[in-house]
Structure 1
Amino acid sequence: MESLAVVLLAVFSAGYLVLAGADVGVGMLLPWLGRDERERRLVIASFAPFFLGNEVWLVAAAGLAAGAFPGLEHELLTELYPLFVVLLVGWVVRDMGLWLRGRVDAAAWRVVWDGAVVAGSWALALAWGSVLGSVLGGGGLNAGSVLGLPLALVFAWHGAGFARWRLPVGLAGRAARVGGVPSRYGVSAVVLAVAPVVAGVRLPWSESAADGAGLTMTAVVTVVVLPLLVAAQALVWWTFRGRVESPSYL
């Protein structure tokens, strides 16, 4: 059951980074992709149907880690707690910006909350990049600080690839290249999917696994949940598979 739990955690972690990494990346590039209010609403509409469902993958991964590998979760949270604080704050700020930007019809109001979307997205990308960098570098904040920015830029690259697919043709051209590098959603998705798998190889799974009953129950519940989550995600992606044509509810 331990091996099954590790594989499931890899699937949920990779799924979150690939799916949510796209909306985080688009948020990072919001001022560049959207030059006025109408364009910014279209940019946000490109990921509006997806971002809440994408976050479920993180919730599932966290629940699985807590149930199957409580010792490892405690160790990571203790060692990297500043990064997880930044991550949580960025998550809240980004989502607040998305939900509140359209609640008042005033330019200054939207500027503030658009700034929250951008700042929160960058905080999320830098925090996740630093967490992955810390694990890849053998632990500690120093490794994370070195690798955090390059990995965070992968999120922006990934978001550009997503925006290139979802935005109207006129706006999609802005997402064709990021810093002179052509945006390729498939390539960036592979990078973000492989990163947590490679990082996971360095972690002491056996030493931190839960007891037999707890590990078995967590793995079984997760096996039941996974196909439901995949089916729901596939339905959403199929429903909103085309380019954005009008602003969303956000």
Structure 2
Amino acid sequence: MDILAVILLGFFAAGWFVLAGADLGTGMLTPWLGRDDGERRLVLASFAPFFLGNEVWLVATAGVLVGCFPALEGELMSAQFPVFVALLTGWVVRDAGLWSRGRGPGPRWRAGCDTAVTCGSWTVALSWGWLLAALLTGRPYTPATGPTAAPTALAVAALFAAHGLGFAALRLTGPPYERARGLVGRAGRPWQSFALTAVLMAGLPLVAGTALPLAGQAASPATLALLVPALLVVTPLLVAVQAWIWYTFRHRVTGPSYL
């Protein structure tokens, strides 16, 4: 059961990086992709149908970590507390900007919300980079410091942005699409860039997770016997719903959404 728990944790973590990395990366590039209010709203519309469903994968990852590896979760949370605070702050700020944008009095309000989306997205990406820097250097119980911490965090954030750029090239139309396509490159098809960054994004948590003593800190056999079968039942449903959402909203956006 402990091996299945490790597989589920890796699956949900990789899924979040691939799926939510797309909307976070696009949010990071909103000011560059959208040069005015209308264009920025189109950029947000490109990932509006997905971001809530994508966040479920992060909740599932946290749930598996807490339920199946409680001792490890406590140690990791305590050691990386500043990183998790920054990550959650960025997440809340990003989502607050998205939900509040269409509910304010005018252009300044919307510009402030767009700034919140961009800054929150960058904060989440850099926070993950900071956390992964600690894991990749084999020091999961110490916040990343030293000459490798900042370059690693920036490299991870750049990968988030590249992943969002590939997603934008698949979803946008008009001038925002042209800007995204210009950076992705006109040789080949847009999905090739997105597929490449998706593989790299999925590999990040899997490689970093090798630094964690997962097998040695699993919950009791009785707990795993209760949680793992339940997760195995729920996981196909989650995948099916996610696949339906992406299939339903597979076409390019041509107008604003509810955000």
Partner of 1:37: 37
Q: Cα distance, 1:129 vs. partner?
A: 1.3
What does 1:35-114 correspond to in 2, within 5 Å? 35-114=35-114
Contact 2:90-2:121 within 8 A present in 1 as well: yes
Q: Cα distance, 1:116 vs. partner?
A: 0.4
Once residues 227 and 196 of structure 1 are traced to their aligned partners in structure 2, the CA distance between those partners, rounded to angstroms, is 21
Tell me which moved more, 157-166 or 97-106. Answer: 97-106
Q: Cα distance, 1:202 vs. partner?
A: 1.6
Contact 1:160-1:177 within 8 A present in 2 as well: no
Report the AA paired with residue 257 of structure 2.
S
Gap regions ≥5 residues in structure 1: none
Once residues 183 and 169 of structure 2 are traced to their aligned partners in structure 1, the CA distance between those partners, rounded to angstroms, is 11
Q: Cα distance, 1:117 vs. partner?
A: 0.4
TM-score normalized with structure 2 length: 0.92
Q: Within the alignment, does 1:162 sit opposite 2:167 as a pair?
A: yes
Q: Cα distance, 1:177 vs. partner?
A: 4.7
Identical amino acids, percent of aligned pairs: 53
Contact 1:25-1:157 within 8 A present in 2 as well: yes
Partner of 2:209: 200
Report the AA paired with residue 69 of structure 2.
F
What does 1:229-244 correspond to in 2, within 5 Å? 229-244=238-253
Report the AA paired with residue 196 of structure 1.
P
Equivalent pairs counted in the alignment come to 250
Q: Secondary structure at the match of 1:176?
A: helix
Contact 2:3-2:215 within 8 A present in 1 as well: no
Residues 171-226 of structure 1 deviation map (CA, whole Å, 9 limit, x = unaligned): 21211254989971111110110111111112111221100011121211111111
Q: CA RMSD in A?
A: 1.7
Contact 1:30-1:118 within 8 A present in 2 as well: yes
Gap regions ≥5 residues in structure 2: none
Q: Within the alignment, does 1:210 sit opposite 2:215 as a pair?
A: no
Runs of 4+ in 1 over 3 A off after TM superposition: 143-146, 177-183
Once residues 209 and 128 of structure 1 are traced to their aligned partners in structure 2, the CA distance between those partners, rounded to angstroms, is 23
